[in-house]
A and B are shown apart, each in its own frame.
Chain A
Amino acid sequence: MDLSLLEELNAERAARRAAVVVTELGSGRQRLVKAQGVAGDPLAPQLAEVLRSAKSTLLTLGNERLFLAVEVPAPRLVITGAVHIAQALAPMARLAGLDVVIVDPRTAFATPERFPDVEIHAQWPDVVLPKLGIDAYTALAALTHDPKIDDPALIEALARDCFYIGALGSRRTHAARLDRLAANGVPREALARIHAPIGLDIGAASPAEIAVSIIAEIVGELRRRPTVDEDQSGRAA
């Protein structure tokens, strides 16, 4: 691999843009395809599939074997609410390989003492989230219970197509939340993407156990992305 190709790839990764390195295993020839350049490529369908599934793959075309190495941005978890559950969830998410960002405008909660080594913003979500460039490789966990903080974050996460969106609160709390968001113009089908009550149903009781249920649900969304075939059969069903 040429250093120049690798540096171009690393620049895409640093900007949180996906890219694919196509290698002809026979000749060693290589090229970089950026996500926005897929449409005009001779391998467009195969490239689109590896980008969507985030799974690198080996292809045989005629007598040439091609390796499609897809590099997608590191998954990230944005948490609104520098709360007790977040104190357990942040280190768990980091162990699972996610970059963690915490947003809470309440300066008594959002302190480095409570969250050592975590990127933390003591600002309102509607101010800070647009600057963070949240995207399809970002998960959002809304944990404050406070509509003034959680609602703007949920609206931004839905608009940015975050791969996971979860919100703390009972079914009743969530029903009221859905009404508020709908009144704010969020389409009903988008609202269906919110996981609430947040986390897998494992009977979690303590903040740490709730954090386990949330990280498990996030990993599930991250890793069980359907293939195109599954997706199509899902739609047909």
Chain B
Amino acid sequence: MADGKAGAPGAREDDVLEAAARWRREGRGVALATVVETWGSAPRPVGSHLVIDEAGSFLGSVSGGCVEGAVVAEAAEVIAAGVPRLLEFGVADATAWQVGLSCGGRIAVYVEKLT
């Protein structure tokens, strides 16, 4: 955990962007998911990050737990294919019962591979 303390006051052990770089340096396949747009009462603000590795480990949050499972699944495909995806989640989705936002908001999440 020494790495998490290496930087300045801003570097925390739970720092998502530090973890993303560290995981990639360790040779893992890594994807970064970022909330790029929200409508209504979205649980996490635009700019929130979730980092995912090829084994499905993740750190951070894009929705406070509502759609993380779906983002992690999409991230595996982004890591495999290398092509970024723009995902939208909301109550109107066909998959709402599985991954909908119980708060009634909608969010757009950009998922990209760290290369």
Contact = CB atoms under 8 A, between A and B. Distances in A.
Nearest to B83: A28
Interface stretch (A64-72, A181-189, A229-237): A64-72
A56 B20 contact: no
Prevailing SS type, chain B contact patch: mixed
Contact of B21 (A7, A23, A74): A7
Size class of the B contact interface (CB-based, 8 Å)? 20 to 34
B30 to A, nearest CB: 9
Nearest to B36: A67
Contacts of B110: 23, 25, 67
A3 B17 CA distance: 11
A58 interface: yes
B46 interface: yes
Contact of A10 (B17, B108, B114): B17
Contacts of A52: none
A35 to B, nearest CB: 14
Contacts of B83: 28
B18 A67 contact: no
Interface in A43-75: 55-58, 67, 69-71, 73-74
Interface stretch (A12-20, A107-115, A140-148, A212-220): A12-20
Contact of B36 (A10, A14, A28, A58): A58
A119 B37 CA distance: 36
B46 A58 contact: yes
Given A6-B20, A99-B10, A25 B115 contact: no
Nearest to B114: A1
A69 B86 contact: no
B59 to A, nearest CB: 14
B69 interface: no
Given A25-B110, A58-B46, A74 B10 contact: yes
Contacts of B24: 3, 6
Contact of A3 (B8, B25, B47, B86): B25
Nearest to B8: A14
A76 interface: yes
Interface string B44-67: 011100000000000000000000
A70 B21 contact: no
A55 B46 CA distance: 7
B9 interface: yes
A10 B34 contact: no
7 contacts: A1-B112, A10-B17, A23-B110, A23-B112, A56-B36, A56-B45, A70-B47
